Structure 1
Amino acid sequence: MTVETFHPGERAVQARAGVQDRAEHVGRGIGAVIPAVAARFLSDRRTLVVGATDQKGRVWASMLSGPAGFLAADGESTLAVAARPVPGDPLAAVLETPAEVGTIALDSAGRRRMRLNGRSVPDGRGGLLITAEQVYANCPKYIQRRHPLDTPSTPELLGSGSRLSTRQQLAATTTDTFFVATAGPDGRVDASHRGGHPGFLSVHGPELLSWPDYPGNNMFMTLGNMELNPAAGLLLPDWETGGALLVSGQAEPDADRTVWFTVERVVELAHATPLTWSEPEYSPANPPIIRA
């Protein structure tokens, strides 16, 4: 493993957890090439979660979607994405120009996922070209099994603000899956998946959320970014309707690795994707919900 595999924030969190050796071992699997098996995996996906930073320094996470094949490896180190964020999405303007992005492709039905981080540019045809800098697979933990269903619809911006409404708080406290985007000290962005039983994302009011950081691959890329840059973005998909709740704010992990998230901006989209999803089969890895 080279020194550049992890930045100082990631190494600091790994050291506190006592997993430096494990992180070094797992980190050897990170590359800048899209292997053939990863290319096949991506070509079958219907969605791609993308994280990026806007001009005000806010980090957002969003979801792109299309038919199978809308994601395609273009050579060994480029991912072609035949989609852009829908109107009203905070990342719509960001991705009209070159941007650092973090992405995660999730196979809910097969409980598989992989991440590809790099630099995105518009392709001139309404899509994106992402030059890969980090490509790696993740373990299947905490993924709820779901199957996509095509539900043609028209995207709509439902509203935006600086705090969660009562209805949005209810959606947050009942979710079993969300995605979190963070940015490192060099501006590079990472997008990650978080899953658990409904209630694992706690709502403490319209401006404060928290969640436990469950054991994972020990690389601590998300917490490592938060160590040096608290800006973060959450994406809470509405699996029943295809809607999406996008939240940007500041994240601070405590000594017990509970992440406390202060809400700064909220955007809600109806029909953010033309997909709805089947009822979940919860992951057997989900820990029980424990309330203090």
Structure 2
Amino acid sequence: MAAAFLRAQHMLVVGAADDQGRFWSGVMTGPPGFASPEDDRTIVVRALPGPPLDGLFVQERDIGLLAIEPHTRRRMRVNGTAVHAGDALVIWTEQVYSNCPKYIQTREPTTEPAATPVRLGGGTALLARHQEWIGTADTFFIATGVEGLGADVSHRGGNPGFVHVTGPKSLTFPDYVGNSMYMTLGNLVVNPAAGLLFVDWEGGETLHLTGRATVDWDPGDVPGAQRLVRFDLDEYAHVAGTVAPDWTAPGYHRFNPPAPGNASRTSGERTARR
């Protein structure tokens, strides 16, 4: 089941720390079959991460991998180590497991991604358009890890507005009831380094944030939140051509709590981000 699911994917989310210990989350894409198990512990991905993770795996390092199929709300996480091998990435797995479909919005690509991702810019403070992008997102991905214990990347979803931008260098998001595995939160308690990835599903662009995240165990009155996570930005990268543009409009998960300031949106409503 896991092998067949992996072979069917055309997009993988990846997370890793750079040489400064900063975590980044990114994407690898290819035709179905571009990622396939070679044996019960080895996965070969016939693609390499683009910016800002390009070049990280010249030397073997910890990796978190997420195979996610939004239109079926299925996902599988892989944690292990990885290294470049020519034009491929070889991954030796330590953990492989599935998660529930909660908070995944259904959507499918209608086109192919660009051949080569291009870095459009970056900085240490988010521009107004980036803040709007984040503040209207219904999905993002977060990479975390602890040295000696491995890296991880996971999905976070909710109704648009569930991520609250508090300034050009900070944001908060709720932690909803989930799988009770606490991989992300457990990592953050030990090591606050985190990498966030936001996808523009219409334009095929991605926004990569690296910084530090802290857990507030008192969620206050945020609907559905068990905890809140505050993220403080160190650096961001804006990349074009990372994923296919023109995905179908999202179908929001029925368990999405109402987002603060956006409670009129129903969980099942289908609408494009912009």
TM-score normalised per structure 2: 0.89
Matched, 1:207 2:177: no
Matched, 1:119 2:89: no
RMSD between aligned residues: 1.4
Q: Which amino acid aligns with 1:142?
A: Y
Deviation string, structure 1 residues 88-141 (Cα, Å, up to 9, x no partner): x121011222110001110101010010000001122x1101001010000000
**Which residue of the partner structure matches residue 72 of structure 2?**
110
Counterpart mapping for 1:1-292 below 5 A: 37-86=1-50, 89-124=51-86, 126-153=87-114, 154-256=116-218, 257-291=227-261
Q: Which amino acid aligns with 1:217?
A: N
Cα separation, 2, equivalents of 1:99 and 1:242: 28
Cα separation, 2, equivalents of 1:80 and 1:50: 14
| Runs of 4 or more consecutive aligned structure 1 residues displaced over 4 Å after TM superposition | none
Give the C-alpha shift of residue 185 in structure 1: 4.4
Structure 1 residue ranges without an equivalent (≥5): 1-36
Give the C-alpha shift of residue 275 in structure 1: 4.7
- Describe the SS at the equivalent of 1:90: coil
Is the contact between residue 185 and residue 228 of structure 1 (CA under 8 Å) also seen in structure 2? no
Q: Which amino acid aligns with 2:178?
A: G
Give the C-alpha shift of residue 151 in structure 1: 3.4
Aligned length: 253
Q: Which amino acid aligns with 1:267?
A: A
Cα separation, 2, equivalents of 1:152 and 1:192: 22
Q: Which amino acid aligns with 1:266?
A: Y
Give the C-alpha shift of residue 163 in structure 1: 1.1
Is the contact between residue 161 and residue 261 of structure 2 (CA under 8 Å) also seen in structure 1? no
Deviates more, 1:220-229 or 1:280-289: 280-289
- Describe the SS at the equivalent of 1:150: coil
Higher strand share: 2
Deviation string, structure 1 residues 226-261 (Cα, Å, up to 9, x no partner): 000000000001100111000000000112220000
Identity across aligned pairs (percent)? 45
Cα separation, 2, equivalents of 1:55 and 1:139: 33
- Describe the SS at the equivalent of 1:52: strand
Give the C-alpha shift of residue 186 in structure 1: 2.0
Cα separation, 2, equivalents of 1:229 and 1:268: 25
Higher helix share: 1
